[in-house]
Amino acid sequence: MADSPAAVVFDLDGTLLDSLRDIAETVNQVLEERQFPVHPLDRFRYLVGDGVVTLFERALPATADRNQWLQPCVARFHEVYDHHWNRYTRPYEGIVELIAELRSLRVPLAVLSNKPHPFTLKCVEEYFAADDFVVVLGQRDGVPRKPDPAGALEIAVRLDVPPQRCAYVGDSLVDMQTAVRSAMLPVGCLWGFRERDELLAHGAQRLLARPAELLELFE
């Protein structure tokens, strides 16, 4: 169809990959080592999404001195997660098939995540084919994290596709805000970490109950 997106940009955690348990167990190990309270798995749906620093700003108890504990916790997270990032993490059902279908349609694909860039690359390399995505970007020093549009706009330039012709698929308000601010089509996925109301409230123009529904944009 004439108004089909010319490219698709995906969030990673909660969109392509169900990674919540590995992230949660790593954070809880870091907290437990420092004798801080830990959190139930479901609570992490609302702690993640804005990068590791913000994750620990939320996960540390209110009484903890952020100046003392924040950076050591972030550094320890990187150490632990480097060994345990793929224990339970898997692509959501239907994601691998969706990527294959989009590639058969010759749609350029990219990933933009607030996960640290090295871990983003590791995850994509582990669970997807080497040529599935043209561009893969995680959180990098010197580049504002989502919902700042800088990363999304960089991807559009590297794909040589106007932002207005890109769909951005994600599971949280951060993703919808990123899409809106970069003038991409905001597409919310309902299998991820957050709820329908959050996605709609922050600009989602399409909602997907299953990954295969994204293909309707290309019919």
pLDDT of 127 reads: 97
Type of residue at 4? S
**pLDDT for the residue numbered 1:** 44
For domain 7-18+90-218, give its CATH number from 3.40.50.1000, 3.50.30.30, 3.50.50.60, 3.30.70.270: 3.40.50.1000
DSSP 7-25: EEEE-SBTTTEE-HHHHHH
Q: Domain map of the chain by residue range?
A: 7-18+90-218, 20-84
Neighbours of 63 (CB within 10 A): 6
- What is the C-alpha to C-alpha distance for residues 78 and 76, in angstroms, rounded to an integer? 5
Query: Do residues 201 and 177 touch, judged by C-beta distance below 8 A?
Result: no
- Domains 7-18+90-218 and 20-84 are alike in CATH topology: no
Token pair listed for 17: 């990959």
Buried/exposed 125-142: b ≥16 CB within 10 Å, e otherwise: eebbeeebbebbbbbeee
How high is the mean pLDDT in each 10-residue block of the chain (219 residues)? Answer: 85 97 98 98 95 96 96 97 95 98 97 96 96 97 96 98 98 98 98 97 98 95
Q: How far apart are CA 9 and CA 144, in angstroms?
A: 17
Give the fold, CATH level 3, of 20-84: DNA polymerase; domain 1 (1.10.150)
Q: Of 207, 197, 216, 191, which is closest to residue 13 (Cα–Cα)? A: 191
Pairing of strands 90-91, 166-170: unpaired
pLDDT at res. 219:
84
